[in-house]
Structure 1
Amino acid sequence: MTGQLSFPRQHARTQRFTLGAPRAFSVAPDDSRVVFLRSRGGTDRAGLLWVYDVAGRREYPAADPVALLGGADEELSAEERARRERSREGSAGVVGYAVDQSVETAAFALSGRLFVSDLTGGESRELPAPGPVVDPRPSPDGRHVAYVAGGALRVTGTGGDGDRALAEPEADTVTYGLAEFIAAEEMDRTRGFWWSPDSDTLLVARADDAPVRRWWIADPAHPGQAPTEVAYPAAGTADAEVRLVLLGLDGSRTEIEWDRQRYPYLARVHWSAYGPPLLLVQARDQRSQLYLAVDTGSGRTSTVHADEDAVWLDLFPGVPAWTPDGRLVRIADEGGARALMVGDRKLTSGALQVRAVLSVGEDDVLFSAAPGAEAALPDQPGELDVHRAWFRGSGDQGGWEPVGKRPFPAVHSAVRGDRLVVLSHAEPERPGARVELLRATDHGAAETVAEIASYAETPVITARPQLTFAGKNDIPCAVLLPTGYDEGDGPLPVLMDPYGGPHGQRVVAAHNAYVTSQWFADQGFAVIVADGRGSPGRSPAWEKAVRDDLAAITLEDQVEALTALAGRYPLDLGRVSIRGWSYGGYLAGLAALRRPDVFHAAVVGAPVTDWRLYDTHYTERYLGHPDEQPAVYAANSLVTDEGLSGVAEGPARPMMIIHGLADDNVVVAHSLRLSSALLAAGHPHEVLPLSGVTHMTPQEQVAENLLLLQVDFLKRSLGL
């Protein structure tokens, strides 16, 4: 049946080929089992909780949503829908879970109800709980489950006894135990509570969004429905007020103290048996931050380390953390490189650009990194490897080695237990990703124990990205030509297909990242994906070059990549188009308006057109505070209060503007203001409003037809 589907339909039905792929791995500390999520097939949206028994070399489901709900449809609360939107989660069933320290018990929410699983036996049961339940997490000893319901932080026994609220909201604007909007959307902090290692206390975030400006998102297709009220912290306006409280199972409550006026952003919380609770708090301008240790007796905090940067400070997955001997693990920009730090010791050199800490062991750290600026320029861009570094060695700098290194560029990620590592490989030549279980041997090598099967569908087309660098800035690029293209076929119309924004990487050494671009190529285009400055690169300086000048620099790099590649590939520079979504949509609008001499048509999807309407933590990191830098905001916006901003001399290029009317991240006001300004200026454009669609487009028919409509528009606009 799959072979009978068109690529747009298959792409939509498989949710971009993610359904059926194993993900969200946990490894038991004794290496006895691996827990993960996976649906039963490549078009099945319902995720199951699975266990792989390492000794028995077998896997079994621990939680099946169809059986647990008796075949009934899921019902999602507003809080759960918002949480999934922030995490871009489009599947169903079991979409997340948490485990105890021994990985014997898992807790998860399903249709707003509370469930726990015995991972050793593969059985799940429902616990009585007031709902709707959000983000349940078992205590480390497996005896309790904490969860959020109705804005209250509650706890119950895993036997279903003793359910009670530890903290209840004092007002409708208050929640306990949930990440506020800005933390979940921009800081990658999706949690709002953390268990103590001895399972008798929790650190709980209290968020009050009363100070946050209210916006209303309506669906014009249903005028009888009241608009949805959203607390949206736009640039220059108030954020939610976030505090931390220490709640004991005995009913005790202790407020955690730090200078919240100077450091209002609670970016990270870490609590392990290796040390006291550890906080990372940031100033609003994100140029200074503190690592704080919490005294659980008094609630006072003490500074472990302080960072400052003249441009901005990044947040990274997996840090901060403690080593077993109580040293701080962090990632820092040191000497022009992004380095792994343990205490005052730098474990890596400029040969690596560290991206994330994956695990802290007894004497080493597992981390992911790309080639750094001091390494020789790779033959191809897009590589991301897993490494381990030792912090108990002698000398000023420890050694490191790759884990599961392959002789070709690839994208790797990993989790581990004691000696067992779950390593995922995504490669340019192979669809999907392969998941291996590796076990370290006494000789320091690793042997493959097993593979965890993927049920994801294979795309009906094969992507053939040519990964390369372009221009004086060595911009990472992927070039895709039509399947079967021959040099005698002549030059091709061009489609630039970027994201192009800060912290967004599109050029990766993985096949499925390019299947949509290949489909566009097969419609008769030479497709170019280019990651300019601001995207994750080989040095902090590359990423921070866009400060105060997003528009000019990211657009300049797209033009540079296009021009440099024209001498190496069959590109018709008289017919150049661009498409993008979110920041990519903003970049597409910039291209059509500011460089009509280069770009001849643009598909502008969910664009940020006025940065005053986007959120605080993201926008102010790059452009500062709008009250302090109004000229910077005007220079980087597509529209101003008076009309279009920065429009160049030249012909008006056609645009298709696409936006979901239910988008609460980049609200549709961005596109409406752009359309009004274009109309006033006499610029040709089309507007495609998507009723009921958010910043994601998970609906099958919508996702399929969006691709078809874009190709039709591009061909019409370029005269093909």
Structure 2
Amino acid sequence: MSFPRQQARTQRFTIGVPRAFQISPDGQRVAFLRGRDGVDTGTCLWVHETEAGTESVVADPKALGADDENLPPEERARRERLRESGGGIVSYSVDDAFTRAVFTLSGRLFYVDLVGDGGAPRELPAATPVVDPRISPAGDRVAYVSGGAVRVIDVAAAESDHGDRVVAEPDGDHVTWGLAELVAAEEMGRYRGFWWAPDGSSLAVARVDESAVNTWYVSDPGRPGQEPTALRYPPAGGVNADVRLAVFPVGSAGAYRRDGRPSPTWVEWDREAFPYLSTVGWTTGPDGTPTVVLTAQDRGQRSLTLLSADPATGLVAEVRTDTDGVWVELMPGVPAHTASGDLVWIARGPEGPDGPGERRVYVGGTPVSPADVYVRGVVDVDGDRVLYTGSPAGSPGDVSLWLVDLATGLSAPVEVPGHGCSRSADSGAHSGLRSGRLRGGTLVVQHRSMDFAGVRTVVVRNADTETRRAYSEIPSLAEAPELPEPRVEFWRAGERRIPTALVLPSWYREDLRPLPVLMAPYGGPHAQRVLNARGAYLTAQWYAEQGFAVLIADGRGTPGIGVEWEQSIHLDLAAPVLDDQVAALRDAAARFPFLDTARVGIHGWSFGGFLAALAVLRRPDVFHAAVAGAPVIDWELYDTHYTERYLGTPQERPEAYVRSSLLEEAAKLERPLMMIHGLADDNVAFAHTQRMSSALMAAGRPHTVLPLSGVTHSPSDPTVAENLMLLQVEFLKENLRGE
């Protein structure tokens, strides 16, 4: 089987990898999602027994008649924002005691008991389609969204009456309750729209009014009889959705109106000054009273304010406000609180002679992360223990999990037993933002490394001690790539010490003909390509086997180095990122004389697609062919929250948009350019490629456009994904033949 086909059918070797972990309070059991093998897209819910080291299936979608083709539009949109291409059970929630789990299949609501023998999952008679079900902390009720309304259903009620009732329903056109708006899910990392109170008495629910947001239409010319899909999309400088927050009592009958609906208590903050609702959660005060906790950003994203709200009155109090003259980054996992009520937060260090310091983890105002660690996010807070991810100074390709125990003073990277590793056990990429969990002294760690293929999932018991730790593993069932072991050289390139990797063919010797270079960047914010993990280079290795030296560089704007590095792209998304690709190429050519710099190609997707097209337009002296997948061509067509963070609004900073746009440079094209774009893309609209193609046509510049019917921003169909790789490599080979 060819590698492109294998990679496509295994969804980049992610099928069969355990994920989405939940740990019981006593640390004895771990729930997770995983297919039955490396190509089984029907993801099952499993439970792992930590002492015995065994696992069993507790919910199998095939036994429940799941149909992933029959998904409600809201669920499809949610999965697109999550880049979730799997099927079966793709998410679930458990109660605080780890006795029940709930999930949805084909828009139907199911629950399964996790205690005793559990028994088979059972369906609840919820209003369909069901989207994003969340079980209450006590496990007796489930809140979910259906038709833009938030509803609550009882789990343990009599079979004839589960008390399914509406909590909040649309009160106007283009109004929804309990769902995240596009920019929240796409750019803020907030995929939810409702949150249970710790005692289960109330729900905090977001109300989203998109009536003033621009309407865009996504159509598929391959299906002329199908009506275009209307999408409320806020482009840079445009009108955002109006987002409010209300608290609804769901436990006390006295709080319900005469029509049987609970009365909302509106949480009123200064939404004109801080229109972006970035996070919502709850905490419990010293007296046991639940309190709503939320963060909100200003439109320019230079201020982030943390607020607490009384759920009974809606009155808010400012806890803290962080400001930055460029932008304040939204950091994963915060705010959070320890068992003693101390705030866990990530903020830049005090002002020094060179400006504000780097980001650090703070607990109650005291930094608990070392000053020389690049903090990536808080993973979990369990009592008085804090788990966070960070990279050691000077080593952005390594991602470590750090555990802080405030009671004992323990603060150190979490090490797992070696796995035939030639490097230290804590080298490589340790995941945590979605996978690492800590509870009851049990920790789940996922480890990727250059020393072994795939992903190791290690369960660490007594993780908060140095001497009594015990380990078990949850096996990955992912397929092994049918590909030579990646042959990768790492270094820091040029004066700016750009993290760089060169991937070479397994068969290449320096006495052979010099290799053409294929640059494969993402090159933009929030994405890092140069990691000490073998899986990061599988696609690059396949391209290398076709006869290329694949060069990957993480220039300014990418994470892993520091705040100043990330903010270097402010008001210019083009020049700094392109300059760093050129600098990395020149440095590589000086180090490796077998690189043929007369034959340099570049390909990328999304921001990487923008960078690929930018490269052949502005530097045809360096780049000789480009493949641009789903490229952002005109930043005025991209969404508010992302674009305005870096460029401001088009009304305030028109020159920044001119500097970063490719449309005005169409007449400069003199190198082969292929643009690939899904016609159903609702993130980077096909209009980007269409407008660029029109501008190139008007300028008389030949180019290639490959439109993909029915494909969104991330192609998931195995046939399409496979053939995209084959078509790209043929285009690059044809145009980088040389003399």
Report the TM-score range of the alignment, normalised by the length of the smaller protein.
over 0.9
Residue 32 of structure 1 is matched in structure 2 by: 28
Matches within 5 A, 1:502-513: 502-513=525-536
Q: Secondary structure in 2 aligned to 1:169?
A: coil
- 1:304 aligned to 2:314? no
| Residue of structure 1 in register with 2:420 after alignment | none
Q: Partner amino acid for 2:268?
A: E
Q: Which residue is equivalent to 2:604?
A: 580
Pairwise CA RMSD of aligned residues? Answer: 1.6
Alpha-carbon separation, structure 1, partners of 2:467 and 2:600: 50
| Secondary structure of the structure 2 residue equivalent to 1:589 | helix
Letter in 2 for 1:565: A
- Could you give the per-residue CA deviations for residues 178-227 of structure 1, whole angstroms, max 9, x where no partner exists? 11111000000001111001111010001111111000111111111111
Given that 1:290 and 1:305 are in contact with CA atoms closer than 8 Å, whether structure 2 keeps it comes out as yes
Distance in 1 (alpha carbons) for counterparts of 2:20 and 2:586:
41
What is the distance in 1 between the residues matched to 2:154 and 2:414?
A: 40
Q: How far off its partner does 1:29 sit?
A: 1.2
Deviation at residue 56 of structure 1 after TM alignment: 3.9
Residues 211-610 of structure 1 aligned to structure 2 (within 5 Å): 211-249=212-250, 250=252, 251-273=262-284, 276-334=291-349, 335-371=356-392, 375=393, 377-378=394-395, 381-391=396-406, 400-404=411-415, 406-407=424-425, 409-413=427-431, 414-440=436-462, 443-445=465-467, 447-461=469-483, 462-569=485-592, 570-610=594-634
Question: Would you say 1:171 and 2:172 are equivalent positions?
Answer: yes
How far apart are 1:175 and its partner, in Å? 0.9
Distance 2:334 2:294 in 1: 10
Task: Quote how far apart the aligned CAs of 1:360 are.
Answer: 1.4
Give the Cα separation in 1 of the matches to 2:585 and 2:99. 53
- 1:62-141 equivalences under 5 Å are 62-69=58-65, 74-120=69-115, 121-122=117-118, 123-141=120-138
The alignment partner of 1:277 has SS state of strand
1:443 CA drift (Å)? 4.9
Cα deviation, residue 55, structure 1: 3.8
Cα 1:445/1:495, change in 2 over 3 Å: farther
> What is the CA distance between 1:484 and its match in structure 2?
1.8
Question: Deviation of residue 549 (structure 1)?
Answer: 1.1
**Contact 2:68–2:88 (8 Å) recurs in 1:** no
Distance 1:701 1:441 in 2: 44
What TM-score does the superposition give when structure 1 sets the normalisation length?
A: 0.95
Q: 1:446 to 1:473 in 2, by over 3 A?
A: farther
Q: In percent, how many aligned pairs have the same letter? A: 51
Q: CA-to-partner distance for each residue in 1:650-669, whole Å, 9 max, x for gaps? A: x7000011000000000001
Which residue number in structure 1 is paired with residue 206 of structure 2? 205
User: Tell me, what secondary structure is at the counterpart of 2:695?
Assistant: helix
What is the CA–CA distance in structure 1 between the aligned matches of 2:68 and 2:339, rounded to whole Å? 46
Q: Are the equivalent residues in 1 in contact too, given 2:111–2:124 (CA < 8 A)?
A: yes
Partner secondary structure for residue 702 of structure 1? helix
User: CA contact under 8 A between 1:500 and 1:530: conserved in structure 2?
Assistant: yes
Tell me, yes or no, if the aligned pair for 1:551 and 1:590 is still in contact at 8 Å.
Answer: yes
Where does residue 717 of structure 1 map in the other structure? 735
Matched position secondary structure for 1:479: strand
Tell me the amino acid that sits aligned with residue 241 of structure 1.
D
Q: Which amino acid aligns with 2:585?
A: L
Q: Find the partner of 1:155 among 152, 159, 169.
A: 152
User: CA contact under 8 A between 1:428 and 1:511: conserved in structure 2?
Assistant: yes
Instruction: Return the offset for 1:441.
Output: 6.5
Return the alpha-carbon distance in structure 2 between the equivalents of residues 255 and 473 of structure 1: 50
SS class of match (1:272): strand
Unaligned runs of 5+ in 2: 253-261, 350-355, 417-423
CA distance in 1, matches of 2:464, 2:430: 24
Match of 2:638 in 1: 614
CA–CA distance in 1 between the matches of 2:26 and 2:695?
62
CA offsets, 1:523-545, max 9 Å, x none?
Answer: 00000111101100221111111
Q: Is the 8 A contact 1:337 1:349 kept in 2?
A: no
| Offset of residue 468 of structure 1 | 1.8
Deviations 1:400-458 (A, max 9, x none): 20012644631112211111111110011311100011112785246343100111000
Q: Please give the per-residue CA displacement for 1:94-114, whole angstroms capped at 9, x wherever unaligned.
A: 000111111221111100000
Task: Name the SS of the counterpart of 1:90 in structure 2.
Answer: coil
SS at match of 2:380: strand
Secondary structure at 2:283's aligned position in 1? Answer: coil
More deviation, 334-343/497-506 = 334-343
- The one-character-per-residue Cα deviations of 1:230-285 (angstroms, maximum 9, x if unpaired) are 00010000111100010111323211110001000000112133562210100010
Taking structure 2 as the reference length, the TM-score comes to 0.92
Give SS of 1:514's match: helix
Q: Which amino acid aligns with 2:557?
A: G
Pair 221,400 (structure 1): closer, same or farther in 2 beyond 3 Å: same
Tell which deviates more after alignment, 524-533 or 433-442.
433-442
Work out whether residues 502 and 549 of structure 2, in 8 Å CA contact, stay in contact via their aligned partners in 1: yes
Q: CA deviation at 1:349?
A: 3.1
1:470 positional shift:
0.8
Q: Could you tell me whether the CA contact under 8 Å between 2:414 and 2:426 is conserved in 1?
A: no
Q: Is the CA contact (8 Å cut-off) linking 1:336 and 1:539 kept in structure 2? A: no
Map 1:640-659 onto structure 2 (within 5 A): 643-644=664-665, 652-659=670-677
Deviations 1:297-324 (A, max 9, x none): 2101100011100000111111011122
Contact 2:17 2:34 in 1 (8 A): yes
Mapped partners of 1:573, 1:644: distance in 2? 24
Letter in 2 for 1:109: T
Matched residue pairs, number?
Answer: 699
Task: Report the secondary structure of 1:529's partner residue.
Answer: strand
